[in-house]
With several copies, the nearest count.
Chain A
Amino acid sequence: MSGITFAKALNEGLRRAMERDPKVVLMGEDIGRLGGVFRITDGLQKDFGEHRVLDTPLAESGIVGTAVGLAYRGYRPVVEIQFDGFVYPAFDQIVAQVAKLHYRTRGRVVMPLTIRIPFGGGIGSPEHHSEAPEAYFAHTAGLRVVSPSNPQEAFTMIQQAIACPDPVVFFEPKRRYHDTAEVDLDTEPATDPRVLPMGSARVVRPGTDATLVVYGAMVKTALDAAAAAADEGTSIEVIDLRSLAPLDSAALEASVRRTGRLVIAHEAPRTGGLGAEIAATVTERCFDYLEHAPVRVTGFDIPYPPAKSERHHQPDLDRILDGVDRVLGRPNSLSGVPGNVAEAQGGGDDHRA
């Protein structure tokens, strides 16, 4: 046990994976000598050599496409995309090759790639450095999509992702890189019963009045919100999704059946974001348990705005609590406004026949 940062926990997880399996190679821009712009791969090239940690030319499609070739050859490439906004040049290789090759070849070619993407805003960066593109990948059959929310799970989940025989898009909440926590570095993710499977959600705070579903950087915000709500006498159950695709719908279902209310918060734009899928899935499975329509608290349907505006775009504690008020039918930002459509949402009379 030791107090280490989220970034260092990832670094240690990568180190374990490389020690365990000589076929694990890391690839990316600036990940070698520099250790990556976020220093996630710090020291790994020095310790494992230039043949295990490769600084690549500046081309994301090239990085992912050559990683595919390495996988054909029996390697387990771990690719770093420098920032969320730079994954799009690799989109074709990810969507048309990485995701589909196992299916295309009826299982003869495995694609155990891990694609690491620092994602999300809140660090005051220029354009393209703060995006939340996870929904694109969650919609892509053949991929798995996960996101750890704390140092301990950063350490274990990166190892699980690398060990997984399927391609995993691994979203790292970059604004949590400097968060520090005690991390059990001795745990063996594959055998330790305390380590959750990669595909499972986790109740990070139990509660009874409403279920709040979040992932990545938003988990801490949600926990803060739940703590604030508790002071006001509201009991919020916070679920850290962890696996964005597939969803652990059983866990969501179990919680919402108890609370009857669902709020989802994410940084990505609302339309077609993960919140839509979660709301639709939970509604399908828990319709008769729902007291109110699921509420989404999300980034707006806009390109990521300039740094000076980002706090308006990103859901924060206040906006999440406003969403909780909405799902609980309490006074909220949209109540009492005549003619506002939100008035008709959930809290009103039951019009059922």
Chain B
Amino acid sequence: MSLLDSTPPAPGSDDDVLRLIGPTGERTASPDLDPWVSDVDDAALVRLLTDMAVVRRVDLEATALQRQGQVGLWPPLLGQEAAQIGSARALRTDDFIFPSYRETGVAYCRGVDMLEVLRLWRGAALSGWDPMEFGMGTAQIVIGAQTLHAAGYALGTRLDGSDAATITYFGDGATSQGDVNEAMVFAASFQAPVLFFCQNNHWAISEPVRVQAHAPLAGRAAGFGIPSVRVDGNDVLACLAATRRALDRVRSGSGPAFIEAVTYRMGPHTTADDPTRYRDPNELDLWKARDPLARVEAYLVSRGHDPEELRAQLQRAADEVAARLRREVVRLPDPGPLDLFEHVYAAPHEQLERERREYALYLAQFEDQAQFGDQAQFGDQARTGDDARTGKNPDGGPGAPGGAAPSAAHGTEVAR
């Protein structure tokens, strides 16, 4: 080995990615990937496309709900449908997933009720679905932390003698975190059956991927002794194939693997973000031309599918999910005041019990006129009747602590 003097390829380019369906719907051959999707016929491809259409619609719906104040914040997946659907559809139900916060599409494939995804972003709970029921951890907001959990879980499956695989999702920005690198160290050291799935969507909030790396992210894994591949993250078929292939390797006991799905965050980082402050609109146009849904549609049309019919079919599927989401989101119950104290510990905890008791007594003062709980407007019932003292929540939000979602609707002026 000797000093490399060549400049490495830019980390954001997508020239050297594996691909099966190109931007305009052309099907290209790949000896590496083709064998892994030989069972995927047109009908299966329509199903993948439908998945993508539905989650895109869920995503748009959630953005709209945020604007209406029904959701506090929303991190759109727009543009990343293929990476998520393609990879998630490669999983077995006994595989386990450790996602970040943007994997709405993955959760959808897992059978998670989309309402459960909104529960968190509405501010009604810190997480939605039950990880044990769906084999998928809840949204991880601390960048990269979940990748270590995946390495550990995978080690556990190995100790159990199971051939279940673990997959973890993270972004291009996350690759800079110590935890993600340590996860690769541990996975390699323990030969843990974990697949690192990096969605390189080119941005970490306002920072282009070149701030994180001067070399392709997939190469990072190779340095840890982990085989890796760059795949076109906007090609659902290639993502499915690459993930199947990597999972096969992982299950076989050959240790971890790494996929860099080269894709693009077409929307803002979250609904609180304004990408026009930092992003060249031409870049967005470039990637619009590589849209993950359009290419599958074009491919299917080239295979004789009727475009109108296809679109109508997608629309129906999406409409149904969206309508339900709109209808049900307002019914997501707010937590009651004393829910604060639930589940901090699994076993009784004296200090916390005392705090709960005392807070219940505090709330009880306001009980004469209303039950605390969902409808409590306890600010209005304080002893003195002095408004300044009680009526208004002095810190911004409306006074009803258990009422509709005022807090969650704040704070949206900032990106996070």
Contact = CB atoms under 8 A, between A and B. Distances in A.
A89 B122 CA distance: 27
B408 A69 contact: no
A344 interface: no
A225 B176 CA distance: 45
B232 to A, nearest CB: 24
Interface string B118-149: 00111111110011100001100111010111
Interface in A67-92: 67-75, 82-83, 85-86, 89, 92
Interface of B: 72-73, 96, 98, 120-127, 130-132, 137-138, 141-143, 145, 147-157, 159-160, 166, 173-174, 176-179, 182-183, 185-186, 189-190, 204-207, 211-212, 272, 277-278, 334-335, 337, 339-347, 349-352, 354-355, 357-359, 361-362, 364-365, 379, 382, 384, 386, 388-390, 393-397, 401, 405-416
Contact of B207 (A58, A166, A225): A58
A95 B4 CA distance: 37
B343 A69 contact: no
Given A97-B149, A106-B125, A300-B359, A57 B186 contact: yes
B168 to A, nearest CB: 9
Interface in A280-336: 300-303, 305-314, 316-319, 321-322, 333-334
B148 A68 contact: yes
9 contacts: A38-B414, A57-B182, A69-B156, A70-B152, A112-B346, A124-B411, A127-B141, A232-B386, A318-B382
Contacts of A180: none
B344 to A, nearest CB: 5
Contacts of A341: 354
A303 B389 contact: no
A39 B364 CA distance: 42
B283 to A, nearest CB: 14
Given A270-B355, A311-B397, A341-B354, A319 B362 contact: yes
Contact of A59 (B147, B153, B185): B185
A126 B415 contact: no
A33 interface: yes
A342 B361 CA distance: 11
Closest 3 CB pairs of A and B: A69-B152, A65-B148, A307-B123
Given A124-B407, A318-B389, A321-B389, A305 B205 contact: no
A270 B355 CA distance: 10
Given A89-B178, A105-B138, A126-B73, A70 B156 contact: yes
Nearest to A106: B343
A105 B358 CA distance: 25
Contact of A122 (B152, B153, B396): B396
* Most B Cβ at <10 Å: residue of A55, A102, A142, A334: A55
B127 A249 contact: no
Contacts of B357: 340
B292 to A, nearest CB: 25
A97 B152 CA distance: 13
A247 interface: yes
A58 B388 CA distance: 44
A228 interface: yes
B358 to A, nearest CB: 6
Contacts of B211: 55-57
A295 B271 CA distance: 41
A228 B73 CA distance: 34
A66 B72 CA distance: 32
* Most B Cβ at <10 Å: residue of A35, A301, A314: A301
